């Protein structure tokens, strides 16, 4: 069994000293990589910038931007049996990166505003969803702040996920950077699981069991 897992945030640079990003710690993705390795599987982890230690036996590739993550994921996707997209990838990136630090003053005069032009990043999930082999499993994540289950179901359909893991990152104790999580697991077959709040490794093992069950079903039909 071969897993491809993404984790952490991306950074989209405005100039040499500033970037757009998010607070993702990568803890959930790294827990998934550890849980997958515990099964004896081959695990490739494509990670944004985090401070989490790489689980023993897991091969890790470090990236920084959404474009870099897309390139590394697409390069490895064909070999994977199960692909889990837990990274918090930027949806937007600056249309142009300033070569020098953007100053708040020009000719001694303080600027009153700064207007940024952004362009969409590559949609990794949607691209993979269109090119899966019949036996491959694609698992997505949805970090939401409202209408969590409804928004996750919509994302599952749009991206052609086999299952999606959703959580409300606005809730205390289970948001970005926390050691515990509270999730909803939604399958393409309409199934819904609501595990109790737990540590991320325990939840990762549960997610892995569900993903492996889906893969076994697909492999049996192919």
Active site residues: 22
Distance from the Cα of residue 108 to its chain's centroid: 43
Find the largest Cα–Cα distance for the chain: 70
d(CA 69, CA 73): 6
d(CA 83, CA 67): 18
d(CA 220, CA 222): 6
Buried b (16+ CB within 10 A) or exposed e, 104-129: eeeeeeeeeeeeeeeeebbbbbeebb
Residues 94, 117 contacting (CB under 8 angstroms): yes
Residues 29, 48 contacting (CB under 8 angstroms): no
d(CA 84, CA 154): 18
């Amino acid at each position: 069994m071969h897993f491809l897992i993404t984790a952490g945030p991306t950074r989209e640079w405005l100039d040499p000293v500033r970037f757009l990003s998010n607070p993702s710690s990568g803890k959930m993705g790294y827990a998934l990589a550890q849980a997958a390795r515990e099964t004896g599987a081959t695990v490739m982890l494509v990670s944004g910038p985090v401070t989490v230690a790489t689980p023993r036996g897991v091969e890790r590739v470090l990236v920084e931007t959404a474009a870099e993550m897309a390139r590394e994921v697409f390069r490895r996707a064909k070999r994977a049996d199960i692909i889990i997209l837990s990274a918090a990838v930027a949806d937007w990136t600056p249309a142009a990166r300033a070569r020098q630090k953007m100053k708040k003053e020009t000719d001694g005069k303080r600027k009153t505003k700064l207007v940024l032009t952004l362009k969409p990043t590559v949609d990794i999930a949607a691209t993979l969803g269109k090119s899966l082999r019949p036996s491959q499993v694609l698992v997505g994540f949805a970090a939401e702040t409202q209408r969590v289950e409804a928004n996750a179901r919509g994302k599952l359909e749009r991206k052609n996920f086999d299952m999606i893991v959703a959580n409300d990152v606005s809730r205390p104790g289970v948001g970005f950077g926390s050691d515990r999580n509270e999730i909803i697991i939604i399958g393409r077959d309409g199934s819904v699981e609501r595990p109790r709040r737990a540590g991320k490794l325990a939840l990762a093992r549960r997610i892995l069991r569900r993903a492996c069950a889906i893969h076994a079903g697909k492999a049996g039909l192919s």
